């Protein structure tokens, strides 16, 4: 890719940003302007950049799609198959634009609990100071061009604020539906979990068409002391789509963050998950599954940063790769000098289903403290012959045994998802994609 081509791609994207209405909030206009400036100074990464060695996104730069601003009139019957049971609080975005007629009409503040579940533009007018404190404070855009672009285009998305000690019995479903080809969307989500609060949030990217489109999503999650957040992310975009996403999570003392991210769709997807364990005794559990085939590429980069002492991190990332697909996992565990008593375990397990499938996995440990427990391991391979034999000795045919084990390999990640209908949907997808005759 030539520098000129990449630059013209950036320029044309950012020109789209100038169509955004000017906000009455000076800080927001300033934030967008800073991001535009930063994006202009950065460049689109190439495979010469260490962080992007395996993921060639030059094809994306040939597609300077623009965001759409007009509200959707998607009939509810088309969105309903994606709704989850038991009932959730649901915010729906169609091609990146908030769709009130498809969303649960919770009052901005649910009851007198003080819980806020709303779309970002409403949130900006009602909770400007809270947003100013958090927006773009967790997801750093200084060095990450796609985050800078998302911030420059910052307009629509979801806002969840859990006040101190609040809990909601229903999960919050953030549903992003792609209906149009050749458009870009820039969803921006912010979840603020105040001290002692508990929330389950599902970030769900789905499509009604199989064409080309681009998603550049940024999610920021801030957990105050002892907050608990269960974050489930499902990317089931069109097989032609581009999906680039950044998620930044900050944990305070004693807080607990659980992440389950599932990548099934997109021609090229990249998910950056950055977790800062910034308070003592914070914990994170990070599970991931990429299940891809054909010519798909799914790249997951995670960084779990142990900043404070006595934090715990657990990570299990799995890839099942078929066809000529290519999965990338880069899992960095950083243990800062002050982070004594760190307890960290990371496992990358990968299953190749075809001779042309390809996996690059890289556990990366950077440890600057001495009293730490860090375990890590990576396996790449075919199914274990002992496991196959066990099932055959129970009467299953070779094929049935292999199918069951392949299914199980993916299902292990999915079985932790607490929303029954979502788990069943995903189990069905894994079943369909792992069965051969």
Partner 1 sequence: MISPDSKLLLEIRGLRASINSIEILKGVDLTVRSGEVHAIMGINGSGKSTLAKVLAGHAAYEVTGGTVLFEGSNLFDLAPEERARAGVFLAFQYPIEIPGVANNQFLRLTYNTVQTHRGKDELDPLEFDDFVREKMKMLEMSPDFLDRSVNAGFSGGEKKRNEILQMALLEPHLSILDETDSGLDIDALRIVANGVNQLATKDSATILVTHYQRLLNYIVPDYVHVMEAGRIIKTGGKQLAVDLESHGYDWVSAEQRAAARI
> With contact defined as beta carbons under 8 Å apart, do 118 and 157 qualify?
no
- CB of 85 or CB of 415, closer to partner 1: 415
Q: Minimum Å distance from CB 260 to partner 1?
A: 13
- CB of 294 or CB of 415, closer to partner 1: 415
> With contact defined as beta carbons under 8 Å apart, do 10 and 40 qualify?
yes
- CB of 51 or CB of 412, closer to partner 1: 412
Q: Which spans in 83-198 are helix H?
A: 120-126, 128-134, 145-152
Q: Give the single-character DSSP code of 105.
A: -
Residues 6+ positions from 292 with CB-CB distance below 8 Å: 263, 264, 298, 319, 320, 321, 322, 323, 325, 326, 327
Relative to beta strand 283-292, strand 66-67 is: unpaired
- CB of 85 or CB of 398, closer to partner 1: 398
Alpha-carbon distance of 193 to 433, in angstroms, equals 36
- CB of 37 or CB of 398, closer to partner 1: 398
Q: Minimum Å distance from CB 391 to partner 1?
A: 8
- CB of 156 or CB of 322, closer to partner 1: 322
- CB of 24 or CB of 418, closer to partner 1: 418
DSSP 388-406: HHHHHTTT--HHHHHHHHH
- CB of 68 or CB of 400, closer to partner 1: 400
Relative to beta strand 172-178, strand 183-185 is: unpaired
DSSP 175-210: EEEE--SSEEE--EEEEEE-TT-EEEEEEEEEESS-
Residue entry with tokens 């609040």: 166
Q: Minimum Å distance from CB 386 to partner 1?
A: 6
Cβ atoms within 10 A of the Cβ of 23, count? Answer: 18
> With contact defined as beta carbons under 8 Å apart, do 95 and 185 qualify?
yes
Q: Minimum Å distance from CB 417 to partner 1?
A: 12
Q: Minimum Å distance from CB 387 to partner 1?
A: 5
Binding site for partner 1 (CB under 8 A): 385-387, 389-398, 400-401, 404-405, 407-415
Helices then strands, counting H and E runs in the chain, come out as 9, 22
Q: Minimum Å distance from CB 323 to partner 1?
A: 22
Q: Minimum Å distance from CB 304 to partner 1?
A: 22
Q: Minimum Å distance from CB 123 to partner 1?
A: 38
- CB of 202 or CB of 405, closer to partner 1: 405
DSSP 61-83: GG---EE--SPP---HHHHGGG-
Q: Minimum Å distance from CB 402 to partner 1?
A: 12
For residue 86, say if its preceding peptide bond is cis, omega within 30 degrees of 0. yes
Residues in the chain: 437
């Amino acid at each position: 890719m030539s520098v000129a081509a990449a630059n013209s791609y950036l320029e044309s994207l950012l020109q789209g940003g100038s169509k955004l209405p000017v906000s009455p909030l000076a800080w927001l206009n300033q934030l967008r302007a800073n991001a535009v400036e930063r994006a202009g100074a950065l460049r689109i990464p190439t495979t010469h950049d260490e962080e992007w060695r395996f993921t060639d996104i030059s094809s994306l730069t040939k597609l300077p799609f623009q965001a759409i601003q007009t509200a959707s009139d998607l009939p509810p019957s088309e969105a309903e198959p994606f709704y989850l049971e038991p009932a959730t609080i649901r915010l729906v975005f169609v091609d990146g634009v908030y769709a009130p007629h498809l969303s649960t009409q919770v009052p901005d503040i649910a009851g007198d609990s003080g819980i806020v579940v709303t779309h970002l533009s409403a949130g900006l007018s009602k909770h400007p100071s809270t947003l100013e404190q958090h927006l773009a404070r967790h997801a750093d855009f200084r060095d990450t061009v796609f985050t800078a672009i998302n911030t420059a285009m910052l307009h629509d998305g979801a806002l969840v604020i859990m006040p101190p000690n609040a809990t909601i019995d229903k999960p919050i479903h953030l549903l992003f539906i792609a209906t149009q080809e050749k458009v870009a969307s820039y969803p921006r989500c912010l979840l603020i979990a105040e001290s002692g609060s508990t929330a389950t949030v599902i970030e769900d990217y789905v499509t009604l068409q199989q064409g080309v489109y681009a998603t550049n999503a940024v999610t920021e999650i801030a957990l105050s002391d002892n907050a608990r957040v269960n974050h489930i992310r499902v990317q089931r975009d069109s097989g032609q789509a581009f999906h680039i996403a950044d998620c930044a999570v900050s944990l305070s003392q004693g807080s607990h963050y659980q992440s389950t991210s599932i990548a099934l769709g997109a021609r090229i997807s990249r998910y950056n998950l950055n977790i800062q364990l910034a308070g003592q005794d914070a914990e994170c559990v990070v599970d991931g599954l990429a299940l891809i085939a054909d010519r798909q590429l799914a790249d997951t980069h995670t960084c779990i940063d142990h900043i404070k002492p006595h934090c715990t991190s657990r990570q299990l990332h799995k890839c099942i790769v078929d066809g000529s697909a290519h999965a990338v996992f880069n899992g960095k565990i950083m243990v800062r000098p002050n982070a004594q008593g760190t307890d960290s375990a990371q496992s990358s397990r990968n299953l190749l289903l075809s001779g042309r499938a390809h996996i690059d996995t890289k556990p990366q440990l950077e440890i600057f403290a001495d009293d730490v427990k860090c375990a890590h391991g990576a396996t790449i391979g075919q199914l274990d012959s002992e496991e196959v034999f066990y099932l055959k000795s129970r009467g299953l045919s070779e094929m049935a045994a292999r199918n069951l084990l392949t299914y199980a390999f993916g299902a292990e990640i999915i079985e932790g998802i607490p929303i029954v209908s979502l788990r069943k949907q995903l189990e069905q997808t894994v079943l369909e994609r792992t069965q051969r005759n």
